[in-house]
Structure 1
Amino acid sequence: MKNLFRTLVKTNPNLGFSIARMTLGLVIFPHGAQKLLGLFGGYGYSATIEMFTTQMGLPSIIAFSVIMIEFFGSISLVLGLFSRFWALSLIGMFLGIIFTTQLQHGFFYELVRQPSR
């Protein structure tokens, strides 16, 4: 059990990995802050949970998990706390996003939604 804990909290001292980890955390943080706190133009926790469960049909535990992974996972990645756990959680979350919403629209979904110029 002690070795498992050490493995989870161990952070690679490689500068490249550290930059990648911090960049990912900084990129994901605003999305989590939108969903949990309503910052950066977000709607906050209650509205996000409601949207995920009513409009998207996701179970409330999945909606809660997405919010927690994006917010606390991004902060933990920047700080280097349990990086492996949070990185795996983000991979799972992104795979869920791909297969539940993005796959049917393709890679350029955001460009399709833009009005014609």
Structure 2
Amino acid sequence: MGSVAVGLLVLRVFLGGILIPHGAQKLFGLFGGGGVKGTGAFFEQIGLKPGVALALAAGLAEFVGGILVILGFLTPLAALAIIGTMVVAALVAHVKNGFFATAGGYEYNLALAGMALVLVIAGAGAVSLDAALGLFW
């Protein structure tokens, strides 16, 4: 196993490991999250409507996308869903607060989107279901 394969595996595990609990907050109310209803209400407050449907979409992108990224299955599609979710979050909820996450800025969303973009460009790597099944690159 080469260093690129190991690097992509590590990237996938970290990215998915961060996103799965965030999705679980939105979908199931775990880890202090609001669940679909609470997250939907928050989304409505910041102008995202219909809030519940968009909370479900964001939660699925994070939770299912995170699982798919860790497995390296349908990786470019999962990564694109993650990028879309992070870009919307950055633009709607965080850009007004500036760059730094300590002030509620978009730094965190940008980092996650950048990690996902690497997977869109490079693929999941040799240690992935995509590679085992001959999917993508």
Q: Same fold (TM over 0.5)?
A: yes
Identity %: 36
| Alpha-carbon distance change, 14 to 109 in structure 1, aligned in 2, over 3 angstroms | closer
Equivalent position of 2:29 in the other structure: 38
Equivalent position of 1:88 in the other structure: 80
Superposed counterparts of 1:1-117, under 5 Å: 14-53=5-44, 55-60=45-50, 61-111=53-103
Q: Which runs of 5+ in 1 are unaligned?
A: 1-12, 113-117
For the 8 Å contact 2:16–2:65, the answer to whether it is kept is yes
Q: Which runs of 4+ in 1 moved over 4 A?
A: none
Instruction: Give the paired residue count.
Output: 99
Structure number with greater Rg is: 1
TM-score, with structure 1 as normaliser: 0.75
Q: Which runs of 5+ in 2 are unaligned?
A: 105-137
Higher relative contact order (CA 8 A, sep 6+): 1
**RMSD of aligned C-alpha atoms?**
1.8
TM-score, with structure 2 as normaliser: 0.65
Q: Is the helix fraction higher in 1 or 2?
A: 2
Q: Is the partner of 1:14 in helix, strand or coil? A: helix
